[in-house]
Homo-oligomer: A and B are copies of this chain.
Amino acid sequence: MKNIVVQKYGGTSVGTTEKIKNVAERILSFKAKGKNLVVIVSAMGDSTDELIKLAKEITPNPSGREYDALISTGEAVSASLVAMALKQKGQEAVSLSGRQAGVHTEDMHGKARILDVKPTRILEELKAGKIVIITGFQGVNSFDDTTTIGRGGSDTSAVVIAAALKAELCEIYTDVDGVYTTNPNLIKDARKLDVIAYDEMLEFASLGAGVLHPRAVEVAKAYGIEIHVRSSFNYNEGTIVKEVLKMEIKNPVTGVAYDENTAKIAILGLSDEPGVAGNLFTQLADSKVNVDMIVQSNQVNQKNDIAFTVSLDDFHKAKEITEALAKKVKAEKVVYDQEVAKVSIVGVGMVSSPGVAARMFSMLGEKGINIDLISTSEIKVSCIIDRKLTAEAVKILHSGFDLAKK
């Protein structure tokens, strides 16, 4: 089937019945353009949190299967209400659960991966002239039980379903206008990007500038699905996420991201025994501590320092594990800093523009901003700095790399 457009509306876009009626209007305006529409919805506003609250009142440790059965009702509510709103406006529509839409996942619960989408019923309903509304964030496993694919997973649902349907476009509606060169609440002249490369979007998403879930971007990249990230509260064009050809790239840096929810831990003076780092990060992973940057440096005296960052929430757990290990392996000491932030520049153009990292360090250094740790990838440079200087650093880099509105 041709002319299929997949749209995804997040929780704030369907937060009230009034907003759901607006979403229905918007959907109809696309239908009027002759598109075959498949709409993925999240749960209304904070309704998922309310369901989680009920579960927590029953038990601190709910069964994964029952937890999924419970929280998947949030999307069932919004999907049926959107379908009702469309029918009220004279448009045939049908809401489908993840199972009915043919979204098959792993057997595990809570964060099952999608294995396959068999869109037989979606196509049947489209052929019958209906707009198909699908509950995001969920599927069905081999036991015929509802599974969920992790928070933020409705983005992934949308992209996976778009891939299965060979949709011409996947639109992700959210409460912001698109992807910006940096946080427009912090930097007044931040510019909305018309286009961003998959890899850049992945870095932005992972860096916490979260308009789009990283898994969704990965799937979109793998299947070549173009994503249009835009606001459900106006009709402005948003940002297109797609494969960007080298030729199209004018600026080596696309945007500046920052994350203030970060803390640094370092073990100093480790004797150069193999396996210590592996041991440490295995223990941290087993305790569900998500480690972000890792920097190891070799000192002249044959001793190593290992520094890494974690989110503030995980800091105390990480510190405890690190100190216990440091004692065991007789490291010289453990130091930490809870007052840091991570500032990053992102851009696929970096690959072919040598010296971008050096320019970043100079810009910060000239203004007296000390860099504590550095981590680089092909398309990203991240620096750990004093958290009090975050806004200043972002401003310097945003203007230094010429990202502002013209």
Question: Residues on A close to B: CB < 8 A?
Answer: 17-18, 20-21, 51, 54-55, 57-59, 61-63, 65-67, 69-70, 72-73, 76-77, 79-81, 83-85, 87-88, 93-95, 100, 121, 144-145
11 A-B pairs with CB atoms under 8 Å apart are: A17-B57, A51-B77, A55-B81, A58-B85, A59-B88, A63-B83, A69-B79, A70-B77, A70-B84, A73-B73, A73-B77
Copies in the complex: 2
With A73-B73, A144-B100 already in contact, the answer to whether A80 and B66 are too (CB < 8 A) is: yes
Residue of chain B at shortest CB distance from A55:
B84
**Which chain B residues border A76 with CB–CB below 8 Å?**
69-70, 72-73, 76
Residue of chain B at shortest CB distance from A88:
B59
Query: Which of A66, A87, A95, A100 has the most chain B CB atoms closer than 10 A to its own CB?
Result: A66
The answer to whether B69 and A95 have CB atoms under 8 Å apart is yes
Give the CA-CA distance A155 to B76 in the complex, in Å. 24
Residue of chain B at shortest CB distance from A75:
B73
Of the candidates B17, B72, B87, B100, the one whose C-beta lies within 8 Å of that of A66 is B87
The answer to whether A84 and B100 have CB atoms under 8 Å apart is no
Minimum distance in angstroms from A276 CB to a CB of chain B = 40
The answer to whether B65 and A94 have CB atoms under 8 Å apart is yes
Give the CA-CA distance A80 to B94 in the complex, in Å. 25
Give the CA-CA distance A72 to B51 in the complex, in Å. 15
With A69-B76, A70-B76, A73-B76 already in contact, the answer to whether A88 and B144 are too (CB < 8 A) is: no
Residue of chain B at shortest CB distance from A16:
B57
**Would you list the 8 A-B pairs with minimal beta carbon distance, nearest first?**
A17-B57, A59-B88, A73-B73, A70-B80, A69-B80, A66-B80, A66-B84, A66-B83
The answer to whether B17 and A54 have CB atoms under 8 Å apart is yes
Give the CA-CA distance A317 to B88 in the complex, in Å. 26
The answer to whether B17 and A58 have CB atoms under 8 Å apart is yes
Residue of chain B at shortest CB distance from A133:
B66
Query: Which of A51, A62, A84, A93 has the most chain B CB atoms closer than 10 A to its own CB?
Result: A84
**Which chain B residues border A95 with CB–CB below 8 Å?**
66, 69
The answer to whether B88 and A58 have CB atoms under 8 Å apart is yes
Give the CA-CA distance A121 to B145 in the complex, in Å. 11
**Which chain B residues border A93 with CB–CB below 8 Å?**
66
**Which chain B residues border A21 with CB–CB below 8 Å?**
58
Give the CA-CA distance A93 to B66 in the complex, in Å. 9
Minimum distance in angstroms from A41 CB to a CB of chain B = 12
